[in-house]
Amino acid sequence: MSVPTSATSPGESLFHRLEPLLEKVSKPIQYVGGELNSQTKDWHCGGHGPDGEELTVRWSLMYPDAYEVGLPNQGVMILYEVLNEQTNALAERTYAVWPDMEDAMREQGVPQFTVDGHRAVRDFDVFGLSFSTELGYTNMLTALDLAGIALHAADRGDDEPIVLAGGHAAFNPEPIADFIDAAVVGDGEEAVLAITQHVAAWKAQGRPGGRKELLLRLARTGGVYVPSLYDVDYLPDGRIKRVAPAPDATGVPWRVSKHTVMELDEWPYPKQPLVPLAETVHERMSVEIFRGCTRGCRFCQAGMITRPVRERSITGIGDMVSQGLAATGFEEVGLLSLSSADHTEIAEITKGLADRYEGTQTGLSLPSTRVDAFNIDLANELTRNGRRSGLTFAPEGGSERIRKVINKMVTEDDLINTVAAAYGAGWRQVKLYFMCGLPTETDEDVLQIAELAKRVIETGRQVSGRKDIRCTVSIGGFVPKPHTPFQWCAQLGVEETDARLQKLRDAIRSDKRYGSSIGMRYHDGQPGIVEGLLSRGDRRVGSVIEAVWRDGGRFDGWSEHFSYERWMRCAAEALGPHGLDVAWYTTRERGETEVLPWDHLDSGLDKEWLWDDWQDALDETEVDDCRWTPCFDCGVCPQMGTEIQIGPTGKKLLPLTVV
Ligand code: SF4
d(CA 408, CA 307): 17
- The pairing of strands 518-522 and 162-166 is unpaired
Specify the pLDDT at position 178.
98
- The pairing of strands 240-245 and 230-234 is antiparallel
Specify the pLDDT at position 388.
62
Q: Whose CA is nearest to atom 6 of ligand 1?
A: 634
3-state secondary structure of 321: helix
Specify the pLDDT at position 624.
92
d(CA 499, CA 532): 19
What is the percentage of the chain residues whose pLDDT exceeds 70?
96
Residue 608 CB coordination number (10 Å): 11
- Indicate if ligand 1 lies below 6 Å from the C-beta of 304: no
Q: Say yes or no to pLDDT of 473 above 90.
A: yes
Based on the number of CB atoms within 10 Å of its own CB, is 641 exposed (0-12), middle (13-18) or buried (19 or more)?
A: exposed
Contact call for residues 489 and 480 (beta carbons, < 8 A): yes
H-helix or E-strand spanning residue 470: strand 470-477
- Indicate if ligand 1 lies below 6 Å from the C-beta of 634: yes
CA of 642 to the centre of ligand 1 (A): 9
- Indicate if ligand 1 lies below 6 Å from the C-beta of 469: no
CA of 310 to the centre of ligand 1 (A): 12
CA of 630 to the centre of ligand 1 (A): 8
CA of 307 to the centre of ligand 1 (A): 7
Closest alpha carbon to 568 in 530, 528, 524 = 530
Mean pLDDT calculated for residue range 379-403: 80
Q: Whose CA is nearest to atom 2 of ligand 1?
A: 631
Residue 42 CB coordination number (10 Å): 11
Beta-bridge mates of residue 287? 335
- Indicate if ligand 1 lies below 6 Å from the C-beta of 631: yes
- Indicate if ligand 1 lies below 6 Å from the C-beta of 610: no
Q: Say yes or no to pLDDT of 387 above 80.
A: no
CA of 623 to the centre of ligand 1 (A): 12
Closest alpha carbon to 626 in 650, 609, 611, 608 = 609
Euclidean distance between the first and the last CA atom of the chain, given in angstroms as a whole number: 59
- Indicate if ligand 1 lies below 6 Å from the C-beta of 636: yes
Closest alpha carbon to 352 in 271, 295, 289 = 289
d(CA 540, CA 529): 17
Model confidence over 292-302: pLDDT tens digits?
Answer: 999 999 999 99
Specify the pLDDT at position 658.
44
Model confidence over 318-360: pLDDT tens digits?
Answer: 999 999 999 999 999 999 999 888 899 999 999 999 899 988 8
φ and ψ at residue 284, rounded to 5 degrees:
-160, 165
Closest alpha carbon to 382 in 425, 360, 353 = 353
d(CA 525, CA 529): 7
Q: Say yes or no to pLDDT of 656 above 60.
A: no
d(CA 45, CA 37): 18
Give the sign of the dihedral formed by CA 523, CA 524, CA 527, CA 529. positive
pTM of the model: 0.95
CA distances from 471 to 443, 449, 452, 459, 514 (A): 21, 12, 10, 11, 10
Q: Which residue out of 606, 626, 629, 642 has the highest number of ligand 1 atoms within 8 Å of its CB and is therefore the one to mutate?
A: 626
d(CA 494, CA 587): 10
Q: Whose CA is nearest to atom 8 of ligand 1?
A: 626
CA angle 163, 164, 169 (to 5 degrees): 130
Task: Provide the residue type at 341 as one letter.
Answer: A
3-state secondary structure of 91: strand
Task: Provide the residue type at 103 as one letter.
Answer: D
- Indicate if ligand 1 lies below 6 Å from the C-beta of 637: yes
Model confidence over 232-289: pLDDT tens digits?
Answer: 999 999 999 999 999 999 999 999 999 999 999 999 999 999 999 888 887 889 999 9
φ and ψ at residue 156, rounded to 5 degrees:
-80, 145
Specify the pLDDT at position 565.
98
Which atom of ligand 1 is least distant from the CA of 634?
A: 6
Q: Say yes or no to pLDDT of 4 above 70.
A: no
CA of 561 to the centre of ligand 1 (A): 41
Closest alpha carbon to 556 in 571, 567, 542, 547 = 567
d(CA 191, CA 194): 5
Q: Which residue out of 342, 407, 605, 632 has the highest number of ligand 1 atoms within 8 Å of its CB and is therefore the one to mutate?
A: 632
- Indicate if ligand 1 lies below 6 Å from the C-beta of 204: no
d(CA 155, CA 271): 39
- The pairing of strands 162-166 and 182-183 is parallel
Mean pLDDT calculated for residue range 91-102: 98
Contact call for residues 390 and 469 (beta carbons, < 8 A): no
Flag the least confident range among 2-6, 53-57, 89-93, 165-169: 2-6
Q: Say yes or no to pLDDT of 659 above 70.
A: no
Contact call for residues 625 and 632 (beta carbons, < 8 A): no
- Indicate if ligand 1 lies below 6 Å from the C-beta of 303: no
- Indicate if ligand 1 lies below 6 Å from the C-beta of 644: yes
d(CA 321, CA 342): 19
d(CA 115, CA 236): 48
CA of 631 to the centre of ligand 1 (A): 5
- Indicate if ligand 1 lies below 6 Å from the C-beta of 307: yes
Report the C-alpha dihedral over residues 414, 420, 423, 428, rounded to 10 degrees: 70
Model confidence over 550-596: pLDDT tens digits?
Answer: 999 999 999 999 999 999 999 999 999 999 999 999 999 999 999 99
Closest alpha carbon to 183 in 162, 214, 157, 202 = 162
Which atom of ligand 1 is least distant from the CA of 307?
A: 5
Q: Whose CA is nearest to atom 4 of ligand 1?
A: 637
Beta-bridge mates of residue 130? 166
Q: Which residue has the higher pLDDT, 653 or 457?
A: 457
- Indicate if ligand 1 lies below 6 Å from the C-beta of 308: yes
CA of 261 to the centre of ligand 1 (A): 16
d(CA 493, CA 603): 28
Q: What is the DSSP letter of 410?
A: -
3-state secondary structure of 604: coil
Based on the number of CB atoms within 10 Å of its own CB, is 518 exposed (0-12), middle (13-18) or buried (19 or more)?
A: buried
d(CA 522, CA 387): 27
CA of 418 to the centre of ligand 1 (A): 29
Specify the pLDDT at position 393.
84
Specify the pLDDT at position 126.
98
- Indicate if ligand 1 lies below 6 Å from the C-beta of 310: no
Which atom of ligand 1 is least distant from the CA of 605?
A: 6
Flag the least confident range among 143-157, 188-202, 384-398: 384-398
Which residues, 6+ apart, have CB-to-CB distance to 21 below 8 Å?
A: 101, 104, 105, 108, 110
